[in-house]
Structure 1
Amino acid sequence: MKLYNLKDHTEEVNFLNAIQSGLGKKQGLFFPKYLPKFNSHDLKKLIKMDFITRSTHILSHFISDEISLPDLKKQIKYAFSFTPPIIVPVTKNISCLELFHGPTLAFKDFGARFMANMLSYWKNKNSSMTILTATSGDTGAAVAHAFYCMNNIRVVILYPKGRISILQEKLFCTLGKNIHTIAIDGSFDDCQYLVKQSFNDKKLKEKIGLNSANSINISRLLAQICYYFEAFALIPSKHHNNVVISVPCGNFGNLTAGLIAKSLGLPIKSFIAATNANDTVPRFLNNGVWKPNNTISTISNAMDISEPNNWPRVEELFRRKNWNLHTLKSESISDKKTIKTLQELYKIGYVSEPHAAIAYKVLIKNMKKTDFGLFLGTAHPSKFQDTVESILNIKLKLPYSLQSRVNLKNFSHHMKPDFLKLKNFLLKKI
């Protein structure tokens, strides 16, 4: 499989090179040169497969020339060795696709664990690597647990101090060993900018074997394609031509994966990109002007991103498929409306959290009565315990993966958004 750099189409790499380097020249994102297409007969066969077999078949179309089918299935089976996606009916024609039943209770377990297994499979035993990534909440935990205790792989995670939930922080800042976490005085965009500066430093990149596990890494996106196909396996076939999916969006990786699934032939009627007050994309689709504002802190903190990294991939896919970008619906929801929506969902019997609530609110505003609506549940409500309990006036029972870390020591370092300080930290910790 060949992938090209969106900022320099002359740079082409294979899948292994893409996941090892993360970014191309000029910090360009990699994108598949060839997108397979499944016909209706292929889709029927895929839908009947179990999750692991189907995921192997889908991903083999991207990387089969670099790994044998049996080895790929083995790696996928290990990566996805947790409860697969679940569809929970919320109203008569709306359901939630729950993606948070993995080890860190977030959808990012799929991409992070697949990436970790692929890197581990190909990695030279004698070489070292530093995974540097920024998180607005859930990526940190998923990446930390996926790479925890892997030989010669050091993970450094940057996160905005005081802007993620306490339990989110506990999940990845209490591990230690090869996992290093740094609380940055600033926003997620500040953290993301530090990562980009690090990748711009060629000497640093080469000296520490720098890589990233953000959704800028193509392996993360490819893994996420698989659960959109699983959704169709769980939805009654009579609804297959009327499925509208609402995605809570931060860095837009989840949406990009869904759009790629659609390009492969999955008959998704339409997507809705749901955002919080950080509304760069909704404004852009409305007026054609790309103008990120300063990042606003909200109760849906994993979406507190003003400059979504994956947006160039979205635009490239629409260009490649000759789709009209303005057919993509996108809307932002305020904290006030998010709180009201959480309460509405609770009244009809569904306990949610802010991100999924935003996706649900935008979905009910934009779907037709004949549509089958699906909104993505990207994180377990208990990861936002204080917020959810105070809004709904209930007491949540913490899953063991959270409860077991509540009283553990936080090993995080603290740093201002200063690249030289981060560089020194990265060099000292080799």
Structure 2
Amino acid sequence: MKLYNIKEHNEQVNFIQAIKQGLGRQRGLFFPMELPEFPKSEIAEWLKMDFITRSAKIISVYIGDELPFEQVLQRVEEAFNFPVPVIPVSQDVAALELFHGPTLAFKDFGSRFMAQMLTKVNQGYPVTILTATSGDTGAAVAHAFYGLDNIRVIILYPAGKISPLQEKLFCTLGGNIQTLAVEGDFDVCQNLVKQAFDDKYLRKMLGLNSANSINISRLLAQICYYFEAAAQLYKQTENQLVISVPSGNFGNLTAALLAKTLGLPVNRFIAATNINDTVPRFLGSGKWIPYPTMVTLSNAMDVSQPNNWPRVEELFRRKRWELSTLDYGCVDDETTAETMRELLELGYTSEPHAAIGYRVLRDSLQPGEFGLFLCTAHPAKFKESVEKILNKSISLPPELAMRATLPLMSSCIPASFSALRHFMLGVVT
């Protein structure tokens, strides 16, 4: 299947090119030229499949004949080698736990699949992965690409604005992983990445690529767990499924909407944000007015200019859907903490991002509907804030415990492209 640059529609690439290239001209995002939709009878057959086989089938819809199904299946099996449980929370609400991968966050799905595909199609040429993170992406990308031949990873993150354990998880690896603490917020980091991709010399010299959700391979991987949730809930929900998606950079919601275009049996989606509410305000007023990014308990969602929103708008335009049909809500820190305590009373231990998803879902759910909220990270990744809010001790999973006492290996740079460029060129000279 071909993909096109949503800023320059005449720039068209195949799937393999899109993985290698990451961004199109003018920082344009790639988007599928075709949006196939399958009949309910075929979707019902998909939902009977096991997670790995179904996921390979879904991804193959977009890859087409560029890679044999058996190769896609093998890569998916390597990438998705952990469970995706749906956990009942109340009579009409369940949690989709996406944090059972090696870095305890939903980003493991997209990052591991991208790493598998890139090593398959890159044919040994040196590549530098440059990405920005507001917390979880960094760890997922670092671990997915750690130790791979001919691949170097440079990760930017906002200094002092991610949790200490998030930082430990990806800033203690070394080897082919370089981490940079930037004096600024996530939007600053993201803009530095975009400037690097605009630098033709850097792109050519380093074989630059990105593992942010701007890379289409990440989004395709994320489509798969929405179908897995539907498969586990199919008989229970009867097409009245409502899914609340905690949203920061909006890649997760983009994947959800792509799942809907394929035929995912879902009634509606909810975009749930913290007080960095550019999208909710836009959906309410029609005016795109990003405010300065504010630091919250849900730091992975501290994004004021979400990269993937253009893809959401493009999808709605292509499908002739009205943006007014997309539900939304935003939650402040006080309500987030209150919601975490409410969930604990229901017997479920949550961290801030999932609590936001639950709160907006709970406030929106109608009689007869069944709600699902995404749990995007393990509570232990936010041990300090979770323990303080819940007055409960959170034990560290082995993946975190083994890194908690290791020294950080990050370098600090100002929010300056010249500083980033100097570092990047120094890496290869």
Alignment correspondent of 2:104:
105
Q: Which residue of 2 aligns with 1:94?
A: 93
| Displacement after TM superposition at 1:124 (Å) | 2.0
Structure 2 distance, partners of 1:264, 1:124, is 31
C-alpha displacement of 1:238: 3.9
Matched, 1:139 2:137: yes
Tell me which residue corresponds to 1:343. 341
Identify the match of residue 255 of structure 1 among 232, 245, 253: 253
Task: Give the aligned partner of residue 281 of structure 1.
Answer: 279
Shift of 1:236: 4.1
Residue 50 of structure 1: how far off its partner (Å): 0.3
Out of 243, 249, 260, the position equivalent to 1:245 is 243
Q: Distance in 1 between matches of 2:34 and 2:342?
A: 44
| One-letter amino acid of the counterpart of residue 118, structure 1 | M
Q: Report the equivalent of 2:150.
A: 152
1:386 to 364, 384, 399: 384
CA separation in 2, counterparts of 1:74 and 1:63? 14
**TM-score, length basis structure 1:** 0.99
Partner of 1:320: 318
Aligned ranges for residues 156-195 of structure 1 at < 5 Å? 156-195=154-193
Counterpart in the other structure of 1:11: 11
Q: Which amino acid aligns with 1:219?
A: S
Distance in 2 (CA, whole Å) between partners of 1:70 and 1:391 is 47
Q: What is the TM-score normalised by the length of structure 2?
A: 0.99
8 Å CA contact retained: 2:102, 2:108? yes
Q: 2-side partners of 1:63 and 1:188: how far apart?
A: 31
**One-letter amino acid matched to 1:295:** T
Alignment match, 2:67 = 67
- 1:265 is displaced (CA, Å) by 0.7
Instruction: Judge which range, 234-243 or 69-78, deviates more.
Output: 234-243
Find the aligned partners of 2:32 and 2:64 in 1 and give their Cα distance.
14
Point out the more displaced range, 35-44 or 264-273: 35-44
Aligned to 2:49: 49
Aligned-partner Cα distance in 2 for 1:261–1:212 = 23
DSSP-derived class of the 1:168 partner: helix
Measured in 2, the distance between the counterparts of 1:90 and 1:237 equals 17
Query: What CA deviation, in whole Å up to 9, does each residue of 1:206-240 have, x standing for no partner?
Result: 11100000000000000000000000111041413
Q: 1:303-327 CA distances to partner (integer Å, 9 max, x unpaired)? A: 0000000000000111111111111
Counting aligned pairs with the same residue, the percent is 59
Report if aligned partners of 1:232, 1:240 keep a CA contact under 8 Å in 2: no
Report the equivalent of 2:266.
Answer: 268
8 Å contact 2:353–2:375 — kept in the other structure? yes
Residues 372-398 of structure 1 show CA distances to partners (whole Å, capped at 9, x for unaligned) of 000000000000000000000011111
Please state whether the residue corresponding to 1:9 is helix, strand or coil: coil
Which residue in 2 is equivalent to 1:406?
A: 404
Q: Which one-letter code corresponds to 1:53 in the other structure? A: T
Post-superposition CA distance 1:24-63 (Å, at most 9, x none):
0000000000122111111111001000000011111111
Residue 360 of structure 2 corresponds to residue 362 of structure 1: yes
Counterpart selection for 1:206 from 201, 204, 207:
204
For 2:57, the aligned partner's letter is H
Alignment check: 8 A CA contact 2:230 2:265 kept:
no
Q: What is the identity, as a one-letter code, of the residue corresponding to 2:49?
A: M
Cα distance in 2, alignment partners of residues 48 and 389 from structure 1: 40
Separation in structure 2 between the aligned mates of residue 129 and residue 358 of structure 1, nearest angstrom: 37
- Note if contact 2:22-2:215 (Cα within 8 Å) is conserved in structure 1: yes
Structure 2 partner of 1:117:
116
Give secondary structure in 2 for the equivalent of 1:72: helix
CA RMSD of aligned residues (A): 0.7
The whole-number CA distance in structure 2 between the counterparts of 1:99 and 1:23 is: 27
CA contact (8 A) 2:250 2:307 kept: yes
**C-alpha separation in 2, matches of 1:70 and 1:348:** 43
Is contact 2:92-2:371 (8 Å) kept?
yes
Q: 2:426: which partner in 1?
A: 428
Aligned AA (1:22): G
Whether contact under 8 Å (1:262, 1:268) holds in the other structure is yes
Q: Deviations over 1:281-319 (max 9, x none)?
A: 000001100010000000100000000000000001111
Aligned partners of 1:285, 1:24: CA distance in 2, in Å? 27
SS at match of 2:170: helix
How many angstroms apart in 2 are the aligned matches of 1:139 and 1:212? 11
Q: Note the alpha carbon deviations across 1:124-162, whole angstroms, 9 max, x for none.
A: 22x211000000000000000000001110000000000
Letter in 1 for 2:47: I
Partner-residue secondary structure (3-state), 1:206: helix
Report if the CA contact (8 A) 1:90-1:96 is conserved.
yes
8 A contact 2:96–2:375 mirrored in 1: yes
Supply the distance in 2 between the matched residues of 1:229 and 1:284 (Cα, whole angstroms).
29
Residue 203 of structure 1, CA deviation: 1.2
CA–CA distance in structure 2, aligned partners of residues 421 and 161 of structure 1:
15
Letter in 1 for 2:362: I
SS at match of 2:65: coil
In structure 2, C-alpha distance between the alignment counterparts of 1:237 and 1:276, rounded to whole Å:
32
In 1, distance between residues paired with 2:54 and 2:171? 34
Unaligned runs of 5+ in 1: none
Contact 2:168-2:408 at 8 Å conserved across structures: yes
Letter in 1 for 2:98: L
1:26 matched to which residue of 2?
26
CA contact (8 A) 1:30 1:218 kept: yes
Equivalenced residue count is 428
* Matches of 1:299 and 1:51, distance apart in 2: 32
The AA in structure 1 aligned to 2:396 is: L
CA distance in 2, matches of 1:121, 1:64: 16
